[in-house]
Amino acid sequence: MHCVSTARLFCHWKSVNRQMKDAKNFCSFAIAREVKMEPDGRCTVFLDRDGVINVDSRHYIKNSREFHFIQGSAGAMALFTDAGWDIIVVTNQSGIGRGIIKKEDLGAIFSKMEQGTKEAGASIKDIFHCPHTPWHGCRCRKPAPGMIMDAVEKHNIDLSRSVMVGDSVKDIECGRAAGCAFSVLVLTGNGEESLSVLKGRGTPPDMVARDLLEAAEVIISMERAGLFIYGRGRATDTH
């Protein structure tokens, strides 16, 4: 896990290390302040698809034959399911609006993703996708928070208990605009380039992980320890 160092964030390693004895290969990470989570209520993880769950392509993932899981991603989703987290996929799919991807093919891709994650022991609660092009001006295409807000309304989600995980600048900005507790950038897909862009803007992600599996291990360990990273959500600060 990579530490994000900014004037607003500080590495709270010693305190967290004492409370997370079971965390494997845990390194320092960015935390704004500790937040004690209530024992009841479910946590939600919002996942981008391409570059996070599956291998991305600059030519778009046009059919189920082109869909391939990133190593460890389905297992990471199973960890979230085992820990009682709800998984919701939020993905831009402008290939639909561009006429590159057929709706039935997108459905087949989602079916393959759900089947693969189910075989790994994971359960996806819902999938939201934006079919629009960047010039459409819709409310759902990330970085706009429309898909997350639709999920909140449909499933009565507490954003103070939610995390956004993605590989792009749009994902991080979407999580923050929606009010997720914090947003995690994974270095698969476009993650390396996106990290450079975000740092250059002075708006680094709240956490950086090598891949979805590492992100899942640390996020779940934090939640089990009674800690949550307070970012831009509506969690209650106990300090």
Catalytic positions:
48, 50
- Tell me what percent of the chain is helix, strand and coil, each rounded to the nearest 5: 40, 15, 45
Give the tokens for residue 39.
């024992």
Computed over its alpha carbons, how large is the radius of gyration of the chain?
17
List the one residue out of 104, 120, 99, 96 whose CA is nearest residue 64: 104
CA distance linking residue 163 with residue 228, whole number of Å: 10
Name the 3-class secondary structure at 116.
helix
Q: Tokens 């320890």 — which residue?
A: 225
List the one residue out of 220, 216, 208, 210 whose CA is nearest residue 22: 220
Residue 100: CB atoms within 10 A of its CB come to 13
List the one residue out of 127, 59, 69 whose CA is nearest residue 95: 59
Give the tokens for residue 23.
């965390």
**Contact residues for 39 (Cβ-Cβ < 8 A; gap 6+):** none
CA 189, 57, 146, 127 torsion: positive or negative? Answer: negative
